[in-house]
Amino acid sequence: MPDFGELGASFAQVSSEATRRLCEQGHSMAQTISEWNAEIGQFVSHRAARNGEAVRRVTQCQNWPDIFGVQAQWVQDITEDYLREIGKLTEFNSRIMDGWVGSLGTAVAPVPFESRTPPARDRSESRKATVSESAG
């Protein structure tokens, strides 16, 4: 008769280890999501301040070329800010996805289509045979 006590102890040890890893990954993901939220908050505050500054500069302009200059600078600043923020959020999202994938175990990449199909036959040999057969 099998020793179920020993089997139960092994299962408990594996289960305990898996639970510990899952908790660590959950904590790491929660921390990353918290950092992501803080980053969004900082970005929104930064953009609100910069937009307010641009409006203040526009109200002080005396002519249309000055207004267009402020607008052009604002467009350049906002583009740079959003591109930089996209980079930061991409890093956060990558860390979050790594945590999710890590909690599922090692992901197996699908086999590329090219490696599932047989290699192409060298048609130059078949053409030679066809040409020599038709010549003969």
Residues of the chain where predicted confidence (pLDDT) is lower than 50: 106-111, 113-117, 130-131
* Stretch (H or E) spanning 58: helix 4-59
40-66: pLDDT as tens digits: 999 999 999 999 999 999 999 999 999
Q: What is the pLDDT of residue 2?
A: 53
Q: What are the extents of the domains in the chain?
A: 7-102
Residue 6: what pLDDT?
59
Q: What is the pTM of this model?
A: 0.59
**What rounded mean pLDDT belongs to the chain?**
77
Instruction: Tell me what pLDDT residue 17 has.
Output: 74
Q: Quote the DSSP letter at residue 107.
A: P
pLDDT of res. 56: 97
Length of the chain: 136
Asked if residue 103 lies in contact with residue 22, where contact means CB atoms within 8 angstroms, the answer is yes
The pLDDT value given to residue 110? 47
Q: Write the CA distances from 120 to 104, 116, 117, 126, 130, integer angstroms.
A: 37, 12, 9, 12, 18
pLDDT score of 21: 76
What is the model's pLDDT at position 107?
43
| 58 and 67 Cβ atoms separated by less than 8 Å | yes
Q: What is the pLDDT of residue 106?
A: 45
